Amino acid sequence: MLRIEVSYRAIVVAVVTAAALFALVRLWPVILLVVTAFIFMAALLPYVDWLVRKGLSRTQAVLLLALVILAVVVGLFALIVPAMIDEFQSIRDNLPEDARKMEDLLANFGIQVALQERARNIDWTELISGRAAIDYGTRIFQITLSTVTVIVLTIYLLIDTPRLRRFLDQFVPAKHRQDEEEILTSLERVVGGYIRGQAITSLAITVYTLIVLLILGVPNALAFAVLAGFADIIPLVGALIAVVPPTFAAFQESPTRALIVLAVLALYQQFEDRFLVPRVYGATLNLPPMIVLIAVLAGGELFGIPGILLALPAAAVGRVALDFALERRETITTQLATGDEAFAPDEPPG
């Protein structure tokens, strides 16, 4: 006979754990928004503190910085959206002819594909109306609502940063205040450094794409360049977003030009991955390439696009926690090896 005894304490712990997991699953979208806001707070905090030192109040500094960033982002989207709509209409109108060009190009390599007939049979009305239009509209509304929520949370966190730190200090014993300060400083450096490094790589690909497309005479070059800058934020998937649309636009001019655009932009992606990113992020994230790849794949599989965007900051935060734990263990080991009993009580004087 098997007899199992469970204490009341174990039952309470199991119920609380199950309730916490249920709440975590249900509230996960909200948690993602809050985590995103904390990441932006860490990136913008040094600039807010700089404006405060220049004489602005904290609220004025945060609002000024938010208005500048918002104006820049809205201006860039106002540049991208009309151009992308124009390109979509152009692709839709010229798709059968473009398919014929692609057939001729593939025929030179001995590949026979009936692309033109398939292009003529596409029902564009079904793709962009009815249920599809409702789905796209719902997604756009959700993205807009999430973006506004993150902006408001970030502004609130930046304004209330001193109060939040005082609130956090209440739960940290006095003997661990220095450790807390070191951890917060490391997190601010790593997460903020990641955002600022991402701004550098986005600016670099924007300028490069603009120069290439202007030289090759691709229409809407500025809009495609800005789109590449935004797409660079998304690991792995962003490369396709940055390369494919301008390649399609160049293909409408000539297949040869499209191949050149594809090759030159793909070459830059290799340059960024192998040379630029390690130098921009190397000292900040301190993550091996394999860990970066695993983090991005896991984030995308678990949480979709938000998981991909948050994978690297989350991995960097994990690296900070690991470094701190290893440093503490090494310190304790050194103290024990030298005979310094770090946890022994102080001896009374005399």
* pLDDT, position 212: 92
Average predicted confidence (pLDDT) for the chain? 77
Instruction: Dig out the tokens for 116 from the structure.
Output: 């033109």
Q: Which two tokens stand for residue 72?
A: 């820049």
Q: Delimit the domains of the chain by residue range.
A: 26-93+123-170, 190-336
pLDDT in tens, 273-311: 777 776 776 556 666 667 766 777 777 777 666 776 777
The reported pLDDT for the residue numbered 335 is: 62
3-state DSSP call for residue 121? coil
Q: pLDDT tens-digit profile of 43-55?
A: 788 888 889 998 8
Per-residue confidence (pLDDT) for residue 288, from 0 to 100: 67
pLDDT band, very low/low/confident/very high, at 236 (cuts 50, 70, 90): low
3-state helix, strand and coil shares in percent for the chain, rounded to the nearest 5? 85, 0, 15
Over residues 196-202, the mean pLDDT reads: 82
Taking alpha carbons only, the member of 210, 196, 326 closest to residue 261 is: 210
Choose between 338 and 159: higher pLDDT.
Answer: 159
Nearest to 180 by CA among 190, 170, 188, 172: 172
pLDDT at 101: 72
Q: Range with the lowest mean pLDDT among 6-10, 152-156, 201-205, 215-219?
A: 6-10
| pLDDT computed for residue 255 by the predictor | 80
Q: How far apart are CA 158 and CA 288, in angstroms?
A: 31
236-243 contacts, C-beta under 8 A, 24 or more apart: 236/296, 236/300, 236/308, 237/300, 237/308, 239/266, 239/269, 242/205, 242/209, 242/269, 243/269
Q: Is residue 26 packed enough to be buried (19+ CB in 10 Å), middle (13-18) or exposed (0-12)?
A: exposed
For residue 138 the two structure tokens come to 């719902």
Q: If you average pLDDT over each of 74-78, 196-200, 305-309, which comes out highest?
A: 74-78
Sign of CA dihedral 119, 122, 124, 129: negative
Residues 110 and 103: beta-carbon distance below 8 Å: no
Show Cβ contacts of residue 284 under 8 Å, excluding neighbours closer than 6 positions: 189, 190, 193, 194, 197, 316
* Residue 340 clears pLDDT 70, i.e. is over it: no
Torsion over CA: 237, 240, 242, 248 (sign): negative
Phi, psi of 347 (to 5 degrees): -80, 140
Least confident of 211-215, 231-235, 239-243: 231-235
Tell me which of 66 and 175 has the higher pLDDT: 66
Closest CA to 293 of 240, 239, 235, 238: 235
pLDDT at 211: 94
